[in-house]
Amino acid sequence: MLNQLLFPVAKRFVAGQTIQEAISAVRHLNAFGILTTLDVLGENVSTRPAAEAAVAAYLEALDWIQREGLSSNVSLKLTQMGLDIDRDYCLDNVARICERAAAGKNFVRIDMEGSAYTERTLNLFYDLFRKHQNVGVVIQAYLHRSEQDVRKLIELGARVRLCKGAYKEPPSLAVQTLAAVRQNFMSLASLLLKQRIHPAIATHDDVLLSWTRNYIAQHELPKDGFEFQMLYGVRSHSQRQLAEQGYPMRVYVPFGTHWLPYFYRRIRERKENVAFVLKHLFRK
């Protein structure tokens, strides 16, 4: 019952429950010169059939992208691929997706989950990257360990998406204030931008957006040497503006039936998201 009540509101942040709805959203964004990354929602699967269903959904998404000639790649979570079941099984599943993506000259991004999975995610990524260069990973700026991780990824020549971080973490693992998170983000972004390995700067924060544009201008870096990334349904006007200004702009387009955990994270992140939900739940 709660899901039925919430989903019409969640559609602000989720493209739909089917691949057809997601593809329609991708076409719409591409029409404005905006790139996308498709994400089949789901995490922490506990059975092989569930993991295999997720793999099949990603293979189908990649086939749709290639068939329709869309400007999109895909993003996935390792716990969705069976990391909690068996590491090697998970690695094989992600490798299958990377192989299908490579056949269509496409790219796969491994999302980062809570800190309990950071080390496991990166170690699996390193193994995967030895054979599949069309895969990248996400680093969360609020974690104390992230500078060390970024430096290692730069040495490998791996493509990194840098974000603030969306999971609640203790002070022992992550900085807690907005000012500290911003400072970490700028420090890590400067390392990535200087190396020109096409980093993704994933933020909706005006301070960080302005800092990135100024950094690019001051260091005379090409606009197409990196990309901005934002979430579906968040600051759509800014997304179009950045694309119109010549910055590569990619939007994370999630879809599927397992949308509730993702929706809750979006609500926790921003006060305006809470206001949006309350407004739509109680309007007549």
Indicate which residues carry an active-site annotation: 111, 161
Q: Which residues pair with 270 in a beta bridge?
A: none
Asked whether 204 and 235 are in contact (CB, 8 A), the reply is: yes
Alpha-carbon distances of 98 from 35, 59, 94, rounded to whole Å: 19, 9, 6
Q: What are phi and psi of 159, to 5 degrees?
A: -85, 130
d(CA 221, CA 238): 21
DSSP 3-state of 203:
coil
31 vs 166: CA distance, rounded Å: 29
In DSSP terms, which residues pair with 24 in a beta bridge?
Answer: none
CB 24 within 8 A of CB 66: no
Identity (one letter) of the amino acid at 273?
N
Instruction: Report the alpha-carbon distance of residue 20 to residue 60 in Å, rounded.
Output: 11
Q: 37 φ, ψ to 5°? A: -130, 125
Q: How many CB atoms lie within 10 A of CB 233?
A: 20
Backbone angles phi, psi at 245, to 5 degrees: -80, 0
Alpha-carbon torsion angle 258, 145, 191, 234, nearest 10: 30
